[in-house]
Amino acid sequence: MNSTPTFELTKEFHERFSKAIEVKDVEFIRNSLVSVNHADISVLLDEFSPEQYKYVLGLLDTSIGANIIIDLDEDIREKFLDEFESTEIAGYVEQLETDDGADILYGLPVKQREQVISAMLNEDKAKNIVELLHYDEDVAGGLMAKELIKANLNWTIKQCIEEIRKQAEDVENIYSVYVVDNNDKLIGKVSLKNLIIARDKTKVGDIYDSDIHSVETFMPENEIAAMMRKYDLDAIPVVNLKGQLMGRITNDDIIDVITELAEEERQLMAGIATDVEEDDSIWKLSRARLPWLMIGLGGGSIAAYFIGFFEKEIILIPVMSFFIPLIMATGGNVGIQSSSIIVQSLANRNAFEESMKNRLFKSLLVSIVNGVVLSIAGYFIVFSFDSDSTIAMVVAIALFSVVLLASFMGTITPLILNKFDINPAIASGPFITTANDLLGLLVYFGVASILYQFS
Amino acid sequence: MNSTPTFELTKEFHERFSKAIEVKDVEFIRNSLVSVNHADISVLLDEFSPEQYKYVLGLLDTSIGANIIIDLDEDIREKFLDEFESTEIAGYVEQLETDDGADILYGLPVKQREQVISAMLNEDKAKNIVELLHYDEDVAGGLMAKELIKANLNWTIKQCIEEIRKQAEDVENIYSVYVVDNNDKLIGKVSLKNLIIARDKTKVGDIYDSDIHSVETFMPENEIAAMMRKYDLDAIPVVNLKGQLMGRITNDDIIDVITELAEEERQLMAGIATDVEEDDSIWKLSRARLPWLMIGLGGGSIAAYFIGFFEKEIILIPVMSFFIPLIMATGGNVGIQSSSIIVQSLANRNAFEESMKNRLFKSLLVSIVNGVVLSIAGYFIVFSFDSDSTIAMVVAIALFSVVLLASFMGTITPLILNKFDINPAIASGPFITTANDLLGLLVYFGVASILYQFS
């Protein structure tokens, strides 16, 4: 084994490397990065400034550099590419597969995009990238690469192998050779394994596997991810409406999609408005968090306004105010639990969706069980606290109602959002928590004013 | 294209199929499932009882049946396998790759495990599965399959191809041929692409790629997933401490790991205690949710006890109680936001972790920005509400302090949990929210009692 797998990024090396950049020690930089994987170099360079980054890249192979640029976060990459001339960017783009090349161009201003494309020497690749730029980034057309191995139905295995030899440099991972008819329509595939097993003179048409999954250019990324996961696919061909082979999506892109979707969900659940990471600027992080905090503030103000109606009652029976946090917290917790079970269910969607009625009914039964347990516990806690059976009864009834209501809201909100193609994970975020808080207060003071009237 | 990719599960077909099971219409069942992918059959059978499920499986090829059994959720699979004799299970296990076979055996009682293994006809496979059972399910040894193609350094390409021919049936996806020395030590790989390009008489030793990533048997699944994602690997070989090739993990297993980890995180964030899904029983769903709800109830009780100390103040200045929800909601929201940014950062961990001090400092700066904005907004909201500058000042100061405190708690808790190898996502769950609620109240009433003393 050579040095790559054992490359370890120590603090000492990082410091030494940092100094080497400072004094422009070209030899050290080159030698220490020889045969190091681009992903490791990306991590190493993570903390350096765009100028330093660019300086190191200039000392490396263009193809390594191109892969390092692709490893960068999208927003960092955009800033970083400001340092480069269009011709330099073109040089890097030419080293990449078309999908990665298109990703770089997506981030550039339209004028510079044109400049980069016209500066490319490989005209075929330039044409292919321009084609990919027509699609949205989050559908099959925007995810696919044009690089793939295609064989006509009438070819022999030997011809296939010649084709692979010819294109070996362009296509990093092959997986399968896609089989098309004379109209370029996708009709099947031959896996590399079967290609190796077959004899040279065999016809592709005799051994190809017609059992092939494909997606159309407009299919959204989450559906492609679900499909590739369901059928355990390494790559999926993309076809146009006529069934003609347009490109191919590989599983590394899909793993990125799955990870990004999980991150998006996490941020929605946490009420963070835009895509941020810990190493973003303080200003960006603050701005991403403020909108939801302001909504929470708004909700709190409405709650204050609402409690204000009961000012007289609170003066007479101040114990009423003691249990505001208990009711609110329970409503919030139940709401988040219910919504996240639905969100999970929607993420792993099966062919047969339970009807909304059945789901609400089941959620109702679960919340009756939880509500009964909580309200009995709540009754005894409050009674042991104050020996006042009225407030204990108020809390018990309010708890039961809040569990039912919050559970209903938590179940129905993601389902409705999903119907309107909005990410249902929002339903586990602060917006719904705020709504549930208000609902809880409403119920609590409602029950209190009824019971105290009668007592 | 044949029928597989176009198989569509309509409600009509589902009903027709259901009837066919009822009247034991063997012909319809067999014909309608011919060449349908096992993943689609799994979805179709999802709603049927274990007996019906077993009946349909009995009409299909054992290899299709085996893959359908693997598609089942672990807990459902265990219940389902109760219907089967050990010899029947052995028949299915023999159709699977060793990692999937071991997954089935993991779920059986130890005695039945032994029975299944001794009922297996393929002794090599039985031995391999027994070996895999020695490892935990969530480390490399428990995830790997024994199926792979291995070539000695001194072989020719022709010998490699012969080996692939021999083992073609056992190894579903090959990706690469692993190259070992005479002691079975892993020293490199030859990708299928390069195997195809190379001439028959070339020696493996002359063309193999020594730049290979591998993991040791005890590496935990989340680290393997991170590594395969970082280096875009389709498969990763597993070695023992001596560097000898033990097995191989493929990307479909890793996609499952990533999805399961995301689900676990979601449930932790939502405060759901055990792994549940929407279609679990009402009792199981209730039980999974109760623990956190009881903790919330406990927190609410402590809050009530605490507010009780201020009973006299609330009678005199009831407006104090109005802003309890506002303070609590803000604390909760800030805490969740801060912790989820850290959780995300830990999930995408880089080689250089920011030091805890730097992280807390940055988080402090972000919360000062947010705290200033919120407390100014809060001041004017409260003042417009009550025209009482003291309560407005109390709310403003409390908001600022709560933002700072909740942000500190939200940042430090996941970092500490992570240090102790506890999933940091718990920090975004109800436990921390409850702690933040209490902290918020403490600050609020603390500030109030100080300011009202002076006014």
Each residue's pLDDT, cut to its tens digit, for chain A (455 residues) gives 333 445 777 888 888 999 999 999 999 999 999 888 898 888 888 778 888 888 999 999 999 999 999 988 787 888 888 889 999 999 999 999 999 999 999 989 999 999 999 999 999 999 999 999 999 989 999 999 999 999 999 999 999 999 999 988 889 899 999 999 999 999 999 999 999 988 888 999 999 999 899 999 999 998 999 899 889 999 999 999 999 999 999 998 888 888 888 888 888 887 777 777 777 788 888 888 888 888 888 888 899 898 988 888 889 888 889 999 999 888 888 888 888 888 888 876 654 566 777 888 888 888 999 999 999 999 998 888 777 888 899 999 999 999 999 999 888 888 888 888 888 887 777 777 888 888 889 999 999 888 887 66
Relative orientation angle of helices B221-230 and A251-270, to the nearest 10 degrees? 120
What pLDDT is attached to residue A350? 55
- Of the candidates B221, B144, B214, B217, the residue with the CA atom closest to the CA atom of residue B179: B214
Residue of B nearest to A209 (CA): B1
pLDDT tens digits, one per residue of B88-144: 999 999 999 999 999 999 989 999 999 999 999 999 999 999 999 999 989 999 999
In a domain, B144, yes or no: no
Q: Note whether A278 contacts B362, CB cutoff 8 Å.
A: yes
With beta carbons less than 8 A apart as the criterion, state whether A337 and B359 touch: no
Structure tokens at A78: 């955009």
Q: Do residues A449 and A348 share a domain?
A: yes
CATH of the domain at B14: 1.25.60.10
What pLDDT is attached to residue B293? 86
Q: Note whether A428 contacts B269, CB cutoff 8 Å.
A: yes
Q: Note whether A5 contacts B251, CB cutoff 8 Å.
A: no
Name the residue among A164, A191, A294 with its Cβ closest to that of B377: A294
Q: Do residues B236 and B283 share a domain?
A: no
Q: Note whether B2 contacts A211, CB cutoff 8 Å.
A: yes
Q: Note whether A325 contacts B300, CB cutoff 8 Å.
A: yes
Name the residue among A286, A290, A325 with its Cβ closest to that of B328: A325
With beta carbons less than 8 A apart as the criterion, state whether A428 and B270 touch: yes
Could you tell me if residue B243 is left (phi over 0), alpha (psi between -120 and 50 degrees) or otherwise beta? left
CATH of the domain at B248: 3.10.580.10
In 3-state terms, what secondary structure has residue A354?
Answer: coil
With beta carbons less than 8 A apart as the criterion, state whether A93 and A66 touch: yes
Q: Note whether B377 contacts A305, CB cutoff 8 Å.
A: no
Structure tokens at B356: 């805890």
Q: Do residues A99 and A155 share a domain?
A: no
With beta carbons less than 8 A apart as the criterion, state whether A218 and B218 touch: no
Q: Which residues of A touch B326 (CB under 8 A)?
A: 296-297, 299-301, 303-304
CA distances from A372 to A367, B271, B304 (A): 8, 19, 21
Q: Do residues A289 and A375 share a domain?
A: yes
Q: Which residues of B touch A46 (CB under 8 A)?
A: 350-352
CA A154 to chain centre: 42
With beta carbons less than 8 A apart as the criterion, state whether B399 and B378 touch: yes
Give percent helix, percent strand, percent coil of chain A, each to the nearest 5: 65, 10, 25
Domain boundary among B118, B138, B158: B138
Task: Return d(Cα B254, Cα B229) in angstroms, integer.
Answer: 9
Q: Note whether A164 contacts B197, CB cutoff 8 Å.
A: yes
Q: Which residues of B touch A279 (CB under 8 A)?
A: 345, 354
CA-angle at B114, arms to B112 and B115, nearest 5°: 60
The amino acid at residue A324 is: I
Q: Note whether B266 contacts A269, CB cutoff 8 Å.
A: yes
Residue of A nearest to B179 (CA): A1
Q: Note whether B296 contacts A161, CB cutoff 8 Å.
A: no
In a domain, B265, yes or no: no
Name the residue among B196, B272, B403 with its Cβ closest to that of A195: B196
Q: How far is A26 from chain B (nearest CA, A)?
A: 24
Q: Do residues B329 and B387 share a domain?
A: yes
Q: Do residues B303 and B441 share a domain?
A: yes
pLDDT tens digits, one per residue of B210-246: 989 999 999 999 899 989 988 999 999 999 999 999 9
Q: Which residues of A touch B352 (CB under 8 A)?
A: 9, 11, 14, 43, 46-47
Number of domains in chain B: 3
In a domain, A142, yes or no: no
Instruction: Report the range of poorest mean pLDDT among A77-81, A317-321, B59-63, B354-358.
Output: B354-358
| Structure-derived torsion over alpha carbons of residues A320, A321, A323, A324, reported in degrees to the nearest 10 | 130
Q: Note whether B272 contacts A168, CB cutoff 8 Å.
A: no
Q: How far is A110 from chain B (nearest CA, A)?
A: 30
Q: Do residues B197 and B85 share a domain?
A: no
Q: Which residues of A touch B1 (CB under 8 A)?
A: 187-188, 210-212
Q: Note whether B315 contacts A315, CB cutoff 8 Å.
A: yes
Q: Note whether B329 contacts A374, CB cutoff 8 Å.
A: no
Percentage of chain B modeled with pLDDT above 70: 97
In a domain, A265, yes or no: no
What pLDDT is attached to residue A438? 87
What pLDDT is attached to residue B43? 83
Name the residue among B290, B301, B365 with its Cβ closest to that of A381: B301
Q: Which residues of B touch A43 (CB under 8 A)?
A: 350-352
Checking ipTM against 0.85, whether it exceeds it is no
Q: Note whether A255 contacts B255, CB cutoff 8 Å.
A: yes
Structure tokens at B5: 């990719």
CATH of the domain at B363: 1.10.357.20
Q: Which residues of A touch B319 (CB under 8 A)?
A: 308, 311
What pLDDT is attached to residue A98? 95
Tell me, what DSSP letter sits at residue A428? G
Domain boundary among A230, A259, A288: A259
Structure tokens at A51: 């100028």
Q: How far is A201 from chain B (nearest CA, A)?
A: 15
- Of the candidates B2, B4, B60, the residue with the CA atom closest to the CA atom of residue B36: B4
Q: Do residues A347 and A255 share a domain?
A: no
Q: Do residues A251 and A279 share a domain?
A: no
In a domain, A438, yes or no: yes
Q: Which residues of B touch A259 (CB under 8 A)?
A: 229, 258
Q: Which residues of A touch B303 (CB under 8 A)?
A: 322, 325-326, 329
- Of the candidates B156, B141, B354, the residue with the CA atom closest to the CA atom of residue A47: B354
Kindly report the three-state secondary structure assignment for every residue of A355-407: CHHHHHHHHHHHHHHHHHHHHHHHHHHHHHHHCCHHHHHHHHHHHHHHHHHHH
Kindly report the three-state secondary structure assignment for every residue of chain B: CCCHHHCCCCHHHHHHHHHHHHCCCHHHHHHHHCCCCHHHHHHHHCCCCHHHHHHHHHCCCHHHHHHHHHHCCHHHHHHHHCCCCHHHHHHHHHCCCHHHHHHHHHCCCHHHHHHHHHHCCCHHHHHHHHHHHCCCCCEHHHHCECCCCEEECCCEHHHHHHHHHHHCCCCCCCCEEEEECCCCEEEEEEEHHHHHHCCCCCEHHHHCECCCCCEECCCEHHHHHHHHHHCCCCEEEEECCCCEEEEEEEHHHHHHHHHHHHHHHHHHHHCCCCCCCCCCCHHHHHHHHHHHHHHHHHHHHHHHHHHHCCHHHHHHCCHHHHCHHHHHHHHHHHHHHHHHHHHHHHHCCCCCCCCHHHHHHHHHHHHHHHHHHHHHHHHHHHHHHHCCHHHHHHHHHHHHHHHHHHHHHHHHHHHHHHHCCCCHHHHHCHHHHHHHHHHHHHHHHHHHHHHHHHC
Task: Return d(Cα B68, Cα B91) in angstroms, integer.
Answer: 14
Relative orientation angle of helices A110-119 and A98-106, to the nearest 10 degrees? 140
Name the residue among A11, A168, A329 with its Cβ closest to that of B197: A168
Tell me, what DSSP letter sits at residue A146? S
In a domain, B266, yes or no: no
Q: Which residues of A touch B214 (CB under 8 A)?
A: 5
Task: Return d(Cα A229, Cα A18) in angstroms, integer.
Answer: 42
Q: Which residues of A touch B37 (CB under 8 A)?
A: 211, 231
Q: What is the number of residues in chain A?
A: 455
Q: Do residues A117 and A165 share a domain?
A: no
Strand order in the sheet with A186-191: A150-152, A176-180, A186-191
- Of the candidates A55, A137, A59, A60, the residue with the CA atom closest to the CA atom of residue A104: A137
Structure tokens at A348: 């792993």
Name the residue among A231, A304, A334 with its Cβ closest to that of B293: A334
Q: Is the per-residue pLDDT at B2 higher than 50?
A: no
Q: Which residues of A touch B332 (CB under 8 A)?
A: 296, 332, 433
What pLDDT is attached to residue B4? 42
Q: Do residues B134 and B169 share a domain?
A: no
Domain boundary among A259, A293, A325: A259
Q: Note whether B282 contacts A362, CB cutoff 8 Å.
A: yes
Task: Return d(Cα B55, Cα B60) in angstroms, integer.
Answer: 9
Range of the domain at A83: 4-135
Name the residue among A276, A303, A344 with its Cβ closest to that of B325: A303
In a domain, B264, yes or no: no
Q: What's the pLDDT band for B183 if we cut at 50, 70, 90?
A: very high
Sorted by sequence, the CB contacts under 8 Å of residue B15 that are 6+ apart come out as none
Q: How many CB pairs under 8 A join A and B?
A: 396
CA distances from B301 to A22, A399, B320 (A): 60, 13, 19
Q: Do residues B182 and B96 share a domain?
A: no
With beta carbons less than 8 A apart as the criterion, state whether A179 and A189 touch: yes
- Of the candidates B54, B44, B51, the residue with the CA atom closest to the CA atom of residue B17: B44
Tell me, what DSSP letter sits at residue A4? G
Q: Higher-confidence residue: A379 or B355?
A: A379
Relative orientation angle of helices A123-132 and A98-106, to the nearest 10 degrees? 60
In a domain, B157, yes or no: yes
Percentage of chain B modeled with pLDDT above 90: 45
Half-sphere exposure of A306 (CA within 13 A, CB side): 21
Average pLDDT, chain B: 88
pLDDT tens digits, one per residue of B408-434: 988 888 888 888 888 888 777 777 788
List, as one string, the DSSP characters of A17-80: HHHHHHTT-HHHHHHHHTT--HHHHHHHHTTS-HHHHHHHHHHS-HHHHHHHHHHS-HHHHHHH
Q: How far is A23 from chain B (nearest CA, A)?
A: 23
| Structure-derived torsion over alpha carbons of residues A212, A218, A219, A221, reported in degrees to the nearest 10 | 120
Burial class (CB in 10 A: 0-12, 13-18, 19+), A230: middle
Name the residue among B164, B279, B297 with its Cβ closest to that of A196: B164
